[in-house]
Amino acid sequence: MTRMIFFACAYFLTCSACNISVHSNPLALSYYKGGIINYDKQDYRGAILDFNKAVDLDPNYEEAFAFRGIVKRALNNDSGALADFTLSINISANAFAYFNRGLTRASLRDYQGSKRDFTEVVFLEPNNSSAYYNRGTVYKMLGLNDSACLDFSKANKLGYKDAMLAIQNNCK
C-alpha cells in the first residue's frame, strides 16, 4: 500500500481555535498565551509547562488541552496528544481537536478512529478542504478507493492544493 502523507498545516494556521480569545480566568489565559508563544519559539517543554498551568487553573479550558496536544505531537508523544485532544473534545466538540486527533490516530495506524474524527470535522465544518483530503487519505489506507476519490474531489473543489495530485495518482 502506498504511503500517504497527512497534511495539517493549512488547517492549523487558519482554524478558529488558533485565535486567542477572552477567557474568564485571566491567569489561565496568560499561561495559555505563554504556551502559544513558547510553542512558536519551539520551546516545547516551556509550552507544556504553561499549558499545564492553564488547565490546572481552568480544567475546562478546551483550547489549552488541544494546544497541549499539538505540543505533545511535536515531542512525538502521540498517546499523550491523543489523550489531550480527547479531553478537549469532551469539554466541547470542536473541529480543531477532532482534526488533530484524526491526524494522531492516523499516525498510530488507527484508521477507523481517524476516519470517524475527520467525518466529525466535515460535519462541523462542511467547507474544510483539509478534512476532506485527510479523510480521503484514510479511506485510501483502508482500501476504500471510491470513497477516497470522492473526498479528494471534494477537497479539490474546495481549493485544497494537493488534491488534484491525489486524484491523478489514485483515481481512475
- Domain containing 154 equals 102-172
Q: List Cβ neighbours of 11 (8 Å cut-off, separation of 6 or more).
A: 96, 99, 128, 130, 131
Give the pLDDT of residue 15. 44
Give the pLDDT of residue 22. 52
Give the pLDDT of residue 131. 98
- Give 150-166 pLDDT, tens digit per residue: 999 999 999 999 999 99
For residues 110 and 162, membership in a common domain is answered with: yes
Model confidence, pTM: 0.87
Residue-by-residue DSSP string for 85-147: HHHHHHHS--HHHHHHHHHHHHHTT-HHHHHHHHHHHHHH-TT-HHHHHHHHHHHHHTT-HHH
Has residue 3 been placed in a domain? Answer: no
Q: Residue 151 has which C-alpha cell?
A: 473526498
Give the pLDDT of residue 25. 87
User: Domain boundary at 42, 73, 92, which?
Assistant: 92
Give the pLDDT of residue 54. 97
The parts of the chain modelled with pLDDT lower than 70 are: 1-23
